Amino acid sequence: MDLLPAIDIRGGKCVRLLKGDFHQETHYEATPANLAQRYADLGARWVHVVDLDGARDGSPQNLDLVATIAQTKKIEIQLGGGIRSETDLIRALTVVNRVVVGSLAATSPNLVEHWLREFGPNRLTLALDVRLDQDNEPFIATHGWTKDSKLTLWAALDRYSQAGLRNVLCTDVDRDGALKGPNLKLYKTCVERCPDISFQASGGVRNIQDLCELSKTGVAFAISGKALLEGLLSDEEMRSFLPNG
C-alpha cells in the first residue's frame, strides 16, 4: 500500500474541510504547487488534487493552477471535483494523468460506463464516497457530499466491475478531516468483494499506526491530507509508505 497525499484547493489556496462542510474550513500556508513538490521530494509518485470550487459549482474551476502543479517533476496527478460532463472530463484529461468521477457514478451510470470504455479504466477513478445508515449500510453521497443517493456502495461496485472498473476512491464521509481513524471494516469488505479493483481508502488517517492497519486491509492507496498538513506523520514515516521514498 502506498500513501497518496491529498491537496485540496479552494480559491487557489490549500485548505481542508471537515466532513466536506464548506463552513468548516481550515487554511494552510503552503501553496498547492509547493506542497506537491514537497511530496514528490519525499517519494510520492502520485498526488490526489481536489478542486473544491469545482465540486461545489459543478465544473472544474482551478485547472490553470492544476496545470502548474502538473509541472512538478516526478509526480502524477489524480484530479477530482466537478467532473460532470464529457467536455469537462476531456479538459481535465489534457492536464492530469487520471480524473476522478464522483456524482455521475450514482446519477448517470450509463454515461460513466461509456467513459470507462471510451477513455480506458486507467484514466478514471470512481469516487464512491459513502455515509453509513443506522444499519451500517454504505450509501453513496453525491454533489460534493451535500446529497445522499439511494445507491449502495455494493450495488455500484457490482455494476461497474462488469464495465471494467479498475480504480475506486472510497471515503467514509463522516470520518473525512475528523482525524478519528479510518473505517477498516469497510475497506476490508471492499477488497474481499472486489479483489481486482485498486481501492483508495480516504477519511480519518491520524498517524503511522492507521497506515499500518490500512495496509492490512489490502487497499492499494491510503489518502491523507490533514494529517500530513498538520505534521502528524514525520517525513520518515511518510517515506516508509511512499514508493520512491
Active-site amino acid positions:
8, 129
Query: If you count them, how many residues does the chain have?
Result: 245
Instruction: Answer whether 103's CB lies under 8 Å from 152's CB.
Output: no
Residue 13 DSSP code = E
C-alpha distance across the termini of the chain, in Å: 13
Handedness of CA 115, 118, 120, 123 (dihedral sign): negative
Residue 184 Cα distances to 16, 105, 204, 225, angstroms: 22, 23, 10, 18
Query: Closest Cα to residue 127, out of 149, 63, 135?
Result: 149
Helix (H) or strand (E) holding 125: strand 124-127
| Sequential DSSP letters for 49-73 | EEEHHHHHHTS-S-HHHHHHHTTST
